[in-house]
């Protein structure tokens, strides 16, 4: 199974949230507001933003007030419960950069995204495709 790009995964997952967890998607969009989040996974750089009432993820090297840098390997560890988010940050498996307010916004957005993901019945298949595990990663 070939791995999907992070951009493709994130963009498709946002459409899933719209369709299957609209309440979480709307709350995430409100919390993000006009701000931007920069996300780096295995060298791919994206910016998450809210455009015309819709969350969009686009490949970009644009700077953002908060940024998160990680890898597929770290995501696998986090999603399988072998690593907590705190341990991931303390071990630099996940790097966070930004002011305290922006990091709190990023933390809220991350949790809202996860709350939406675990309410989407179609999410496990999408995640499996992205992580390339060949086996279902249970997120719901």
Of 62, 80, 91, 99, the one binding other proteins (CB under 8 A) is: 80
Of 5, 8, 27, 71, the one binding other proteins (CB under 8 A) is: 27
Q: Which is nearer to other proteins, 36 or 75 (CB)?
A: 75
Q: In what order do the strands lie in the sheet with 37-41?
A: 54-59, 44-51, 37-41, 66-70, 95-98
Neighbours of 32 (CB within 10 A): 20
Q: Does 134 bind other proteins (CB under 8 A)?
A: no
Of 1, 15, 22, 33, the one binding other proteins (CB under 8 A) is: 22
Cα(103)–Cα(35) distance, integer angstroms: 12
Q: Does 11 bind other proteins (CB under 8 A)?
A: no
Non-local (6+) Cβ contacts of 64 within 8 A are 35, 36, 37, 38, 47
Letters for 88-117 (x = contact with other proteins by CB under 8 A, - = none) are -----------------------xx-xx-x
């Amino acid at each position: 199974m070939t791995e999907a790009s992070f951009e493709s995964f994130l963009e498709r997952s946002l459409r899933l949230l719209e369709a299957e967890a609209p309440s979480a998607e709307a709350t995430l969009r409100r919390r993000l507001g006009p701000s931007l989040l920069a996300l780096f996974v295995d060298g791919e750089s994206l910016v998450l933003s809210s455009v015309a009432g819709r969350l969009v993820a686009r490949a970009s090297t644009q700077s953002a007030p908060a940024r998160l840098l990680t890898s597929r390997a770290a995501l696998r560890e986090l999603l399988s419960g072998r690593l907590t988010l705190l341990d991931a940050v303390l071990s630099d498996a996940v790097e966070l950069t930004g002011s305290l307010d922006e990091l709190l916004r990023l933390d809220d957005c991350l949790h809202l995204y996860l709350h939406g993901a675990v309410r989407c019945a179609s999410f496990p298949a999408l995640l499996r495709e992205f992580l390339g595990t060949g086996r279902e990663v249970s997120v719901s």
